[in-house]
Amino acid sequence: MDTSQFIQRDETCWEIQPKGAMRVPAIIYADAQLLQDMDQKVYEQLTNVATLPGIVEAAYAMPDAHWGYGFPIGGVAAFDPDQGGVVSAGGVGFDISCGVRTLLTGLNIAELQPHKQALADALYRKVPAGVGSKGKIHLNHKAMHGMLTGGAQWALDQGYGEPQDLERIEEHGCMAGAESHYVTPRARERQKDEMGTLGSGNHYLEVQRVAEIFDQNVAKTFGLRVDDMVISIHCGSRGLGHQIGTEFLKEMVMSAAQYQIVLPDRELACAPLNSPLGKHYLGAMRAGINCALANRQIITHLTRQAVATLFPNIHLGLLYDVSHNTCKLEQHMIDGQRKSLFVHRKGATRAFGPGHPDLPTVYKEVGQPVLIGGSMGTSSYVLCGTKESEQRAFSSACHGAGRAMSRTQASKQWQGRTLVDKLAAQGIIIRSPSMRGVAEEAPLAYKDVGAVVDIADRAGLARKVARLEPVICIKG
């Protein structure tokens, strides 16, 4: 991308001033190199977002931004319902509430080392992964309704997990306002056998070693020490979320003229937040959030069972669970006034700072854990929210490395078996039902997650706490 298109506000902040139909500026957080490496489509998509009705302050892109459907992945935008603000299915993404959950094991690397292969096998057997993967849970109509409205709380009521888990899950494990009757029979059909499964793409279950601590005080609060082992789960709402997104995008495209919305790109299809269609989408999307929260809760239960076969006396406590594909009603300061805004985060992680009322008591002094997944075979990071992030981008941060090339390009350049063998030589065990899927997720198919996280830290979006290195990776 050509940096001359921007005004550089500081070392990490690049602004596109409003022009044409843009209602607000567009801002990208990056350094010069990351910005140059971004696809020009990020520029086009972000400036298109800035034209949408009711957008507030600016359209933002995180350091891991890349081309997406409608919104760029890594895009953040807030809309005021009192100013004709809209909700966009493309601004949430197809994998509604895709997110990361990290568990503390109490083990260190020396204790795990003799059991690495056995644990990899146990996790791979216990947690289904891959395209169209099915679990052992079958949801009838009543159970489906309970899951869509209850989220992780429903899963807990079915015996999956522990009561204390809920305090360390976004929304306490249950997204209010879910309306399951707006989830179609086709979406339900796709999900009825997929609970407790990872799916495919960049989703994973990873056993990780705490390799480096950047902030000792916050790391202690989070329960992290060098050489400790943690387990991270990255997945979302599976087929149900995708179906919700697909169906409502079609409705929004067809209804744009009715609502007098001029779309610069059909993929940016949206509806006024106060319209029937906008409210219907919000109800279905919130049900999709609950689906993802329930899914990660069930996978947590399966993970605990697998680990217990080798380490029966340890307890896997929850560090945190946070999503990065959502639209949520939040309170933010705009021009000195507190406003209720609908914040879209697509491939961007909520990052509330210290003192925020929605944080668990244990994290109120240090800020929210921000869980950043790396690409296969590379580091992941734990960050924490900052007070500055409120002013920088509605308390938002990056969500991962961000793709540097398409899955098709990656599968042509690398072979899955070769990658598995190469990573094994580095001490990283990969288990996957698809070697093509492994090739698509090759480490070099993504940006350098360390560089992305450094920008997030320097920009004040979130502060670095710890770096995690992969030891075992279960992939779809």
Instruction: Give the catalytic positions in this structure.
Output: 399
395 is an annotated ligand-binding site residue: no
Sequence-separated (6 or more) residues with CB below 8 Å from residue 180: 144, 145, 148, 149, 287
402 is an annotated ligand-binding site residue: yes
Quick check: 361 and 164 in contact, CB under 8 A? Answer: no
CA triple 127-196-135, angle to 5 deg = 75
Quick check: 53 and 272 in contact, CB under 8 A? Answer: yes
Quick check: 118 and 310 in contact, CB under 8 A? Answer: yes
Residue 297 backbone class (left: φ over 0; alpha: ψ -120 to 50; beta: rest): alpha
How many residues are listed for the chain in this entry? 476
Place of tokens 């052992």: 136
65 is an annotated ligand-binding site residue: no
- For 105, phi then psi, to 5°, come to -105, -25
CA triple 420-198-119, angle to 5 deg = 55
Q: What is the dihedral of CA 280, 285, 288, 289, to 10 degrees?
A: -140
313 is an annotated ligand-binding site residue: no
380 is an annotated ligand-binding site residue: yes
167 is an annotated ligand-binding site residue: no
DSSP string, 249-312: HHHHHHHTTTTTPPPSSGGG-EEETTSHHHHHHHHHHHHHHHHHHHHHHHHHHHHHHHHHTT-T
205 is an annotated ligand-binding site residue: yes
295 is an annotated ligand-binding site residue: no
457 is an annotated ligand-binding site residue: no
Rounded Cα distance, 395 and 53, in Å: 22
374 is an annotated ligand-binding site residue: yes
Rounded Cα distance, 96 and 68, in Å: 14
Quick check: 414 and 374 in contact, CB under 8 A? Answer: no
203 is an annotated ligand-binding site residue: yes
95 is an annotated ligand-binding site residue: yes
Quick check: 67 and 73 in contact, CB under 8 A? Answer: yes
Rounded Cα distance, 234 and 208, in Å: 13
* Residue 198: closest CA among 126, 148, 246, 104: 126
Strand-pairing partners, residue 371, are 382
* Residue 325: closest CA among 341, 349, 295: 349
475 is an annotated ligand-binding site residue: yes
324 is an annotated ligand-binding site residue: yes
Sequence-separated (6 or more) residues with CB below 8 Å from residue 211: 226, 379, 467, 468, 469
399 is an annotated ligand-binding site residue: yes
376 is an annotated ligand-binding site residue: yes
206 is an annotated ligand-binding site residue: yes
Annotated binding-site positions for GMP: 202-206, 324-325, 373-376, 380, 399-402, 475
Annotated binding-site positions: 95, 202-206, 234, 324-325, 373-376, 380, 399-402, 475
Annotated binding-site positions for Mn(2+): 95, 203, 234, 324
